Amino acid sequence: MSDADADPARIAVRIRGRVQGVGFRYAAIAEARRLGITGWVRNTHDGDVELVAEGDADRLRRLVTWCRTGPPGARVTQVEHLWRPFAGEFDAFRLRP
């Protein structure tokens, strides 16, 4: 891992497809915790899932890769992500209402 990848970063991700009612949020929490990432995940009113995560850039990339498939039962059609400056705002990865 390069020094650039070890720098803390933040990413906002929007996942579209059949991603609600299939355990996507809970699987995302487990994956983020496994990767040592902090942040949150929630369902949106329009049927998508969104998450905001902080951690080192390589681990955030791995989370985005995971989001492209998600848990069994999910049918992801699109993943959009936007890199943001690290804010150090979170102490764990949680479900957000």
The residues that are catalytic are 25, 43
- For residue 29, give both structure tokens: 């929490």
In angstroms, the CA 31 to CA 71 distance is 10
21: left (phi over 0), alpha (psi -120 to 50) or beta: left
